[in-house]
Amino acid sequence: MNILFIAARQHTNYNGIFKALIKKNNIFFNSIYKSRIEDYNLVKPDILKQNLITKLILIFLGRDKTKFFYFPKFFEYYKYLKRVKPDLVIIRITGRFNLYLNLIFLSFFSCKILCHEQKISSRRTLKKKSVKNFLLYFEWFLLKFIFNVRLFSPIYKKEDKDFFYLPFVTDFKKKKFLKNKKNNFITIGKFEKRKNYIFLLSVLKRLKTDFSLLIIGEKTNNNHNINLKNIKNYIKANGLQDRVKIKVNVPPKKINNFLKNKGLFILPSYNEPASISILESISFGVPAICSDTCGTKVYIKENINGFTFKTNDKNSLLNKINFYLNNKIKFEQYSKNCLQYSSNELSSFNFHLYFNKILSSFEK
């Protein structure tokens, strides 16, 4: 089967999915741009030249709207689709302009279409709540019955015939318990304000025990530079230089090297749609803490493979960290629970179970 992914960029959370699909399928990826830290060993993205219409739109709206309005040259894109001959297309929804132009072009090809949303509720239930929700419901109706699209989310874990769950995949080869250093913490994410790194540092400095923290972050634009500078200033101002280390733009394939001797992964961010780093840490036997507004909290089993805390609540996060540190008897069990959970829920086998359910729905 020829499978075409369409998204703004080839995010690292696709890597596990590629591994699950690439053995029996031909994988293509059409993206808008590349990032310096993405891993293209499995699939190299195809970036087509931009259409004149979208260039004009972006002149008025600004380059920061690229992922919402970018679209390739019409004839070039049609030739690309004709060459790929997709049997299945998986579209990551960013902007409606981009989405519906893709759907129009794909209507000329007899392919199944899946739309990736990072939602925790089905649109089918939204029609009575507000004008905005009704429009989302109407769009679901349009996508399903006009374009024969199936919607799925990696963070929606309910049984629903109209909105499907398709889990992330983290397929580390080494699945053995590692005796981690309990007070060694790690956090991973872009150097953005919403990642809440300074919030995390302000909590950790209140710990009454020694600790170390490794921050692995992406720095690929000026905003990242500014936030990284603020983090370094905070570390220096609070005398945390010996306890906190920072690594910048670490390639995805090297992340597991930094997880080996860590006892706890902490993601302090707010407005976090779905962090794959949480799942990577769990798959390496490192329990995780994240906020209660993080999408991938659905993969955390409280006090089994991790914990959740109240978003932006310092006492809540501090209490969770202390609870973990004070549970010496359970320390090794947490790590074993993570590995067991990963082998069951984040495996290629589990992914295919849900993937096949979605494909079979086209036949009904």
User: Do residue 336 and residue 189 come from a single domain?
Assistant: yes
Q: Locate 359 and state its tokens.
A: 């494909």
User: Do residue 336 and residue 354 come from a single domain?
Assistant: no
Per residue in 88-141, pLDDT tens? Answer: 999 998 888 999 999 999 999 999 999 999 888 788 777 777 888 888 888 888
User: Do residue 225 and residue 335 come from a single domain?
Assistant: yes
Residue 195: inside a domain, yes or no? Answer: yes
Per residue in 193-246, pLDDT tens? Answer: 999 999 999 999 999 999 999 999 999 889 999 999 999 999 999 999 999 999
Residue 157: predicted pLDDT: 84
In terms of DSSP H, where are the helices of 36-95? 52-61, 66-69, 74-84
Residue 288: inside a domain, yes or no? Answer: yes
Residue 180: predicted pLDDT: 57
Amino acid at 77: Y
Give the residue from 105, 68, 84, 75 showing the smallest Cα distance to 30: 84
Q: Are 178 and 210 in contact (CB under 8 A)?
A: no
Residue 118: inside a domain, yes or no? Answer: yes
Torsion of CA 155, 157, 158, 162, to 10 degrees: 50
Q: Could you tell me how far CA 26 lies from the centroid of its own chain? A: 23
Q: Locate 198 and state its tokens.
A: 């300074």
Q: Indicate which CATH number applies to the domain containing 106.
A: 3.40.50
Residue 363: predicted pLDDT: 79
Residue 265: inside a domain, yes or no? Answer: yes
Residue 310: inside a domain, yes or no? Answer: yes
Q: Please, which residues bridge with residue 4 across strands?
A: 28, 89
Angle (nearest 5°) at CA 269 between 263 and 270: 145
User: Do residue 143 and residue 214 come from a single domain?
Assistant: no
Instruction: Read off the DSSP letter of residue 72.
Output: B
User: Do residue 73 and residue 33 come from a single domain?
Assistant: yes
The contacts of residue 128 (CB under 8 Å, 6+ apart) are: 134
User: Do residue 327 and residue 355 come from a single domain?
Assistant: no
Residue 129: inside a domain, yes or no? Answer: yes
Residue 331: inside a domain, yes or no? Answer: yes
Q: Which domain holds residue 88?
A: 2-168+348-361
User: Do residue 188 and residue 246 come from a single domain?
Assistant: yes
pTM: 0.90
User: Do residue 19 and residue 151 come from a single domain?
Assistant: yes
User: Do residue 219 and residue 85 come from a single domain?
Assistant: no
User: Do residue 211 and residue 148 come from a single domain?
Assistant: no
Residue 132: predicted pLDDT: 85
User: Do residue 9 and residue 148 come from a single domain?
Assistant: yes
Q: How far apart are CA 218 and CA 246, in angstroms?
A: 11
Q: How many domains does the chain have?
A: 2
User: Do residue 253 and residue 104 come from a single domain?
Assistant: no
Q: Are 298 and 166 in contact (CB under 8 A)?
A: no
The whole-number mean pLDDT for each consecutive block of 10 residues of the chain, a chain of 364 residues, reads 95 91 96 85 92 88 84 95 97 90 94 92 78 88 92 87 90 55 90 96 95 94 95 97 95 85 93 91 93 94 95 97 85 88 93 95 82
Instruction: Read off the DSSP letter of residue 45.
Output: P
Residue 175: inside a domain, yes or no? Answer: no
